[in-house]
Structure 1
Amino acid sequence: MPEQAVALTPFERAAAAIEAWLDGAGATFATRTRQPDPRRKVASWDLELRHAVHGRQRVSIYITRDFPATPPQVRFDKSLCLVLPHIEEDGRFCHGVEADPQDYDEPVDAMVEVLKRLETFWSDSADPAWVAGEFQDESLSYWLRFCLQYKPTRGAPGVSGLRVALTDLDGPTKGRLAAYFKKDQKARSDLLVATVGEADPHGLAVRHGWAVGTLVRGNALFVPLSAAQSWVPGSWPRTLRQLEDLVASAADQTLSVAKWIEDNKEDARCFLVVLVQGRTCYGYLVYPAPVVRLTSPIIVPVPVDRVDTDWALARDHGLDVLHLRRKKRVLLLGCGSLGAPVAELLARAGVGELHLLDKEFFGSENCARHLLGASDIGDLKSGDLATRLRRQVPGITVKAFHALATDWIRHQCKPGTYDLVVDCTGESAVRTVLTRLREHSLGKCLVAHAWMEPFCAAAHVVLLQHCDRWPADDPREKVNVAEWPEDTRVHPPACNAGFHPYGAADVWQAAGFAAERVLAALDGKVTASMVCSWVRSAAFFQTLGVSVQPGPRVPAIDSGMDAVHLTRTYEDVFGDG
């Protein structure tokens, strides 16, 4: 019997269609390359193109082994990178064509679309104004390629990474620089950290765990560029003289880079000039002449990674909201499985100052559903959570307190101290004290009570404006969506050690829901007191194995993975309070 034919894979069929077309009808403009890269390419072809400015160019088009999951590729001579836009440092052309499911059935159409993009690009790139505009529109991307390609003069150390905490600039502004050199690393710094004004870059590096190696201090200079300043490869300084001229022009001839270096060379070993256009930063390391009067100073372009809050927390978008949140001080009571992720979400949303209060130590049994983990066992929850947030979230001020919430509210809180108090303890005593001492301890700040029903079957946030109180008789049953047995907890053989079984995937849904409502109140989007609930489906309640009685607000949904969000007014739930 003849052997059974081996069926072609979808990739092989698509590649065969391209080869048949380009070796057939396409042979009038494309010539098969005889030695493609067998590790990556299935087949490639060469095209001869004539350019109005750059003359005759050989261009390669090819398909990869995962075509059509990866569209056809085009490659130019890599010397055209930073000469023409959209050409990578390896010569690859960024044509912008994305893979389409239809390409498996019509692979030739994918190649035709790429060739059309190539034709349009080749025509447009003959116009110097178009070229300059493309470079300017994506200047940061091309700057990164420039830094990678730059061949510094022998003896220029360079740097592995540069992180800058940018602030608003009124004009050229001096700053400070911290460089870190690992052991036996005498020339090339592993990391530079720069700050504006008198802010300490070393303190910033220590806070975030970047300060690894020997510290060397330096000076930084931040120079704003006007929006009209051309910033394309042809205008980028490549010598100190060119950098000097650019900075002098940007500063109306009032600033000299050379003089700045001369005035500070006794106090600093490294110098950094950061050119800032809009909110985008371009860095130059400047090294004084190795041999005075015999050699010239050296400049090295370096990419800048901004680590200030505007970029790290908002990517420079929606800054009005971020800057409003940065002015807020929030007290969060309870750093348990609900309170800890709520705290982190508030921090990452830009809250400026966060005070964390909890009386408990972290236990190993909480590793499955808490932000903290095995390295925190035996430590204070509030303390380790505060350390985590300070290390991970730029700009936030976090303070931790080990105390009973009721004692803290009574003895430490004063009106005007906080903009918002978030109670994540789930404790009746805390809700009652917040009500009884509202005027005495909190004044007109917002109050939010957040808790979960057993098994994380529902979560609630009660947002209270200053004119409303949580009722003194603690009517939590008016908020909860189900009637529960007196005790639904699992009880290990220890005093007060009961727990409800749920995991991080459950409680973090509740935390996201709670944080979203709390932020809406903090941003002023919620101006009335309300009760917000996240409620899982009736099918979920049926899986719990306890005699729970779901109420009418539990949605009659057959899927145990579904949930609904409900919002009720304060009056609807509590009447007149």
Structure 2
Amino acid sequence: MNEIYTEWGRFCLRYRQVTETSEFSSAPVDLPQFDGATEFRMAANFSGGKLMIGTLYFVPYYEIDPLPITFHCDKAIASLREGYCLLVPVAVDTDWSEAVWPKSMAELDGYIANTTGYPRLVEDWIMRRRRELNKLLMVVLVKDNICYGYLLGSPRDGVFTDTRVISVFFDRVEEFSFENRMLIELELSVQHLQTLIRHARQLQPSSGYVKEDQRLRYALDELASALGKGVSRSRLT
């Protein structure tokens, strides 16, 4: 599956006429429960400049105002913007290759219509949501638990087929959840912590549960980040 996602990443860059290169590996994915094409609230950002590497969170509808909560959770993702995502499953036996990857709204609309059997699904969804200012709109196709994203522009003069589509790849896709954080001050050896982080990454222990393994990776990232900040502060004093 990584080979397909690598081709998808290259396709995205070629379509946007970007000459930069990047490493493409399928993002860790933790999808909410859904059956057929389904709308979700989302919070997303894009990093890497022209590479537009996407981070996507599905936001539960009971979270009235998710972004202030997000700010308190992790300042590293404070650039998240709210919006709506249409999640569309692609059947395993459906062709999904560069030969059929949509490059325009007409092609995206046609592909989803053929996949779902609902000709006006995307058009009706976009025209209903386009009036909400400063809200991102994305269509994400899911096949074999891998996500392929399309960021949508606004319909020009209200013409649906003139809506701009930008294909994007992700490095993180998951449900957003509030987590209490605490500040812990420790005096530890930098060398010991660096060794711990390095060996934990190399061994890549697996618990057999996707969420647990993801939390371990994020914990190691947070520990490495905190270590780097601590070393920088100590050099300044």
Which TM-score applies when normalising by structure 2? 0.59
* C-alpha distance in structure 2 between counterparts of 1:151 and 1:369, whole Å: 43
Give unmatched runs, 5+ long, in structure 2. Answer: 18-26, 195-214, 221-237
Map of 1:147 onto structure 2 = 12
Letter of the structure 2 residue corresponding to residue 278 of structure 1: D
Stretches of structure 1 lacking an aligned partner (at least 5 in a row): 1-135, 153-161, 310-352, 373-388, 395-577
The one of 244, 247, 271 equivalent to 2:137 is 271
AA at the equivalent of 1:245: G
Quick one: distance in 1 between partners of 2:37 and 2:160? 30
Structure in which a larger fraction of residues adopt helix = 2
Whether 1:227 and 2:49 are equivalent positions in the alignment is: no
SS of 2:142's partner is strand
Please state if 1:262 is matched with 2:127.
yes
**Residue in 1 that maps onto 2:42:** 177
Give 1:264 deviation, angstroms: 1.1
CA contact under 8 A between 2:89 and 2:143: conserved in structure 1? yes
Report matched runs for 1:391-410 at 5 Å: 392-393=218-219
Alpha-carbon distance, 1:191 to partner: 5.6
Q: Distance in 1 between matches of 2:158 and 2:78?
A: 32
Q: Give the conservation status (yes or no) of the 8 Å contact 1:179–1:189.
A: no
Query: Would you say the 8 A contact 2:92–2:144 is kept in 1?
Result: yes
C-alpha distance in 2 between matches for 1:179 and 1:242: 24
For residues 162 and 152 of structure 2, what CA distance do their matches in structure 1 show?
11
RMSD: 4.3
Letter of the aligned partner of 2:218 in structure 1?
Answer: Q
Deviations 1:6-38, CA, capped at 9 Å, x for gaps: xxxxxxxxxxxxxxxxxxxxxxxxxxxxxxxxx
Confirm or deny: 8 A CA contact 1:179 1:217 kept in the other structure.
Answer: yes
Measured in 1, the distance between the counterparts of 2:31 and 2:112 equals 18
Other structure's SS at 1:302 match: strand
Match of 1:253 in 2: 118
1:42-441 aligned within 5 A:
138-151=3-16, 165-180=30-45, 192-195=55-58, 198=61, 202=67, 203=69, 207-213=73-79, 216-253=81-118, 256-268=121-133, 269-293=135-159, 296-308=162-174, 362=185, 364=187, 366-367=188-189, 392-393=218-219
Q: Which amino acid aligns with 2:94?
A: Q
Do the aligned partners of 2:140 and 2:149 also contact (CA within 8 Å) in 1? yes
Cα distance change of structure 1 residues 253 and 362 upon mapping to structure 2, 3 Å threshold:
closer
Alpha-carbon distance in 2 for matches of 1:390, 1:266: 40
Distance 1:174 1:292, change over 3 A: closer
Q: Structure 1 residue 209: deviation in Å?
A: 3.7
Shift in Å, 1:265 = 1.4
Structure-to-structure mapping, 1:416-565, within 5 angstroms: none
Q: 1:165 to 1:287 in 2, by over 3 A?
A: farther
Secondary structure of 2:162's partner?
coil
CA positional deviation for 1:149: 0.6
Kindly provide the amino acid, as one letter, of the partner of residue 195 in structure 1. Answer: F
Q: CA offset at residue 178 of structure 1?
A: 2.5
Mapped to 2, the partners of 1:275 and 1:167 lie a distance apart of 14
Return the alpha-carbon distance in structure 2 between the equivalents of residues 296 and 221 of structure 1.
19
Change (3 A) 1:307 1:209: farther
Please state how far the C-alpha of 1:227 moved relative to its aligned partner: 0.3
SS at match of 2:110: helix
How far did 1:370 drift? 7.0
Residues 45 and 54 in structure 2, CA contact (< 8 A), matched pair in contact too: yes
Contact 2:105 2:161 in 1 (8 A): no
After TM superposition, give the deviation of residue 167 of structure 1 in Å.
Answer: 2.9
CA contact (8 A) 1:222 1:274 kept: yes
Structure 1 counterpart of 2:145, which letter? R
Q: Counterpart in 2 of 1:51? A: none
Residues 175, 194 of structure 1: 8 Å contact kept: no
Q: Higher Cα Rg: structure 1 or 2?
A: 1
In the TM superposition, residue 198 of structure 1 has moved relative to its aligned partner by 2.9
In 2, the alpha carbon distance for the partners of 1:391 and 1:209 equals 18
Q: Which residue of 1 aligns with 2:228?
A: none
The structural deviation recorded for 1:369 is 8.1
- One-letter amino acid of the counterpart of residue 171, structure 2: D
> How far did residue 139 of structure 1 move?
2.0
1:530 is matched with: none
Whether the 8 Å CA contact 2:55–2:172 is kept in 1: the answer is: no
Which residue identity lines up with residue 158 of structure 2 in the other structure? V
Which protein, 1 or 2, shows the higher relative CO under an 8 Å CA cutoff with sep ≥ 6? 2
Match of 1:375? none
- Alpha-carbon contact 2:40-2:58 (below 8 Å) kept: yes
Structure 2 CA distance, aligned partners of 1:204 and 1:220?
18
Q: CA shift at 1:300, angstroms?
A: 0.8
